[in-house]
Amino acid sequence: MRSIQEKLPEFERLGVKPVAISVDAPAVSAELARKAGYTFPILSDRDAAVIRRYDLLHKGAGEGGGDVSRPAEFLLDRNGVVRWRNLAEDYRVRARVEEMLAEARKLSGAR
């Protein structure tokens, strides 16, 4: 998410809006945004309803055995259709922001 923030002007130029989602409460996400300087939206899925809907629930993997989302990224076009996705096989290894930017460029028709 740090790299997303670094490339935020580029995403904005391409007209692609990054948005982060986790099970954290809004206050916890607000603290993260403040400390890390994130200015893109961070949404709270407290009961993991959306995370479940997207089939991303990682049971008992959170702090204190709570359910969390596995890391995953989806790039949607203006109609809400998935154009690219990344389901990390290893939660340490996440998609590089360069790859996401390249996909975002394809979407906006920019180069």
Partner 1 sequence: MKGRFNWPLWSGLLLSVVAFLSYYGFFSQFPVTRDVPWVPFLLFLIAAALLVAGWRRAPRKTLASIVAVLELVVIGVFVFLVTVFSRDLPRSGRAPAVGQQAHAFALPDTQNRTVALSDLRQGSNGVLLIFYRGYW
List the interface residues with partner 1, window 23-52 (CB under 8 A). 23-24, 26-33, 41-45, 50-51
Distances (CA, A) of 6 to 13, 28, 32, 66, 95: 13, 21, 16, 30, 15
Q: How far is the CB of 46 from partner 1 (least distance, A)?
A: 8
**The one among 9, 37, 63, 111 contacting partner 1 by CB under 8 A:** 63
Structure tokens at 52: 């479940």
Q: Name which of residues 66 to 95 contact partner 1 (CB under 8 A).
A: 68-85, 87-94
Q: What is the DSSP-derived secondary structure letter of residue 40?
A: S
If the CB atoms of residues 9 and 59 are measured against partner 1, the closer one turns out to be: 59
Q: How far is the CB of 111 from partner 1 (least distance, A)?
A: 14
Q: Report if residue 111 touches partner 1, rule: CB under 8 A.
A: no
Structure tokens at 47: 């009961």
